[in-house]
Chain A
């Protein structure tokens, strides 16, 4: 009872905050410090998004970005899990790859775009390459860390109960590392989303990144800000749709405290 009341209160607080931010934004644009093509009002942004939706530009781009992301993310998650498993179970692999991956992680997603264009040219493969390079390392490291934090007694218990070595990864190591893996996959999702939009920004004729780029070319800040908002909204929405249930289940099983209510 109190829990739902708390959720309601937090949601109301968030809505009030967003409303206040919108009002402030509208008020600031009314002062006309910057021309409206550089800093449009919320009303202009909404109007532009509506136009894009109605004239059929928005939907194909949303679909293209989401499909690219889905495919690229699945590839990169599988790669990240396998590499992470190898790192988590072999000290040799871990010490070889960890510092390289940590180094690669310092690169922003956009830094992968030029080399991917040189290698793959103007094809969708270039976009998948950017997604994979942006998110695989983070997922591999999170998986390896999740494995490193498994209490050794779990492995010993499984061994004494007769678990054959070949079944150890699937029955004990991966499930025991699940909390770390879920964290890694969520992080990988965010980084991959950065990657898609960065890659589309520079190459592509459809996609959220393309619409951002087109908005800049047309000196249309309302479109740029509108697409940025759509990108944020989609990223959050997909994160919740895909991972909220998994995360809740892991937390329930392990007995972790539930995440503070988020809207």
Chain B
């Protein structure tokens, strides 16, 4: 298994210029994410956290500053850092198994049988081995997101970039996936960069929570989380921490109220 990635953002800014206004979405912001670390980026809706993830994924270049993976600048998307989206984004024209095997097509050295075996192993990892031949629309919302997780893990990425992947699921499903994601993180030791606006989710999952400011996104506060794993979503210590994080987030939003307008919430 490839070693986890080290992600670095150095003095990164991102702004979007339209004809009438320039929107500053990010920065300047500097973050170092260690190998195998689980970092949660937490901020109010529209604060630029998805933009931040897009920069690391290589979907867009930063306006200034550097995005580094293991010290090398990111030049585009790559299977060493796979992004998981809010919607599962599974391909309806492929079976669940072929979806999971999709990222393996680039691995020319693997035979078809080997690709299949790897995909099956990852389906088992997310407890979907019985659904290999199902079509995507036959899965429930939670199963779809688990299949998306298997698809992201199958090519052996060194980092996972998660953009509120559980945001549209019901509470019960979500809580089960928190447990599964923690288990995957402890067994595979991927570096994980996870975006959310849910403080309890942040407290439950993170090694470190970065509370972001209202746009342009900067790091307002770094909160290390030393609670033992696996953490239960309803653990009292998780609740206490989530309360502290929420207080931090509220103070940020109160400070900004009145000084920003509601124009163009470019991302969530």
Contacts and interface: CB of A to CB of B under 8 A. Distances in A.
B135 A255 contact: yes
A6 interface: no
Contact of A153 (B77, B89, B94, B161): B89
A162 B106 contact: yes
A175 B91 CA distance: 9
A255 B138 contact: yes
A255 B93 CA distance: 10
Interface in A157-179: 157-164, 167, 171-172, 175-176, 178
Contacts of A162: 77-79, 103, 106, 155
B135 A161 contact: no
A167 B106 CA distance: 10
Interface string A171-204: 1100110100000000000000000000000000
Nearest to B93: A175
B81 interface: yes
A172 B87 CA distance: 17
Nearest to A153: B89
A254 interface: yes
Nearest to B161: A160
A176 B90 CA distance: 11
**Interface magnitude class on chain A:** 20 to 34
Given A153-B85, A164-B106, A255 B92 contact: yes
B206 interface: no
Nearest to A164: B106
Contacts of A156: 59, 77, 83, 85, 89
A94 B57 CA distance: 29
A153 B81 contact: no
Interface string B166-206: 00000000000000000000000000000000000000000
B122 interface: no
A262 interface: no
Interface string A144-158: 000000010110111
A161 B103 contact: yes
Interface in B63-108: 77-79, 81-83, 85, 87, 89, 91-94, 102-103, 105-106
Interface of B: 57, 59, 77-79, 81-83, 85, 87, 89, 91-94, 102-103, 105-106, 135-138, 151-152, 155, 161
Given A163-B105, A175-B93, 9 more contacts: A159-B59, A160-B57, A160-B59, A160-B81, A160-B161, A161-B102, A161-B155, A171-B102, A255-B137
Interface of A: 151, 153-154, 156-164, 167, 171-172, 175-176, 178, 252-255
5 contacts: A156-B83, A157-B91, A160-B78, A161-B152, A164-B106
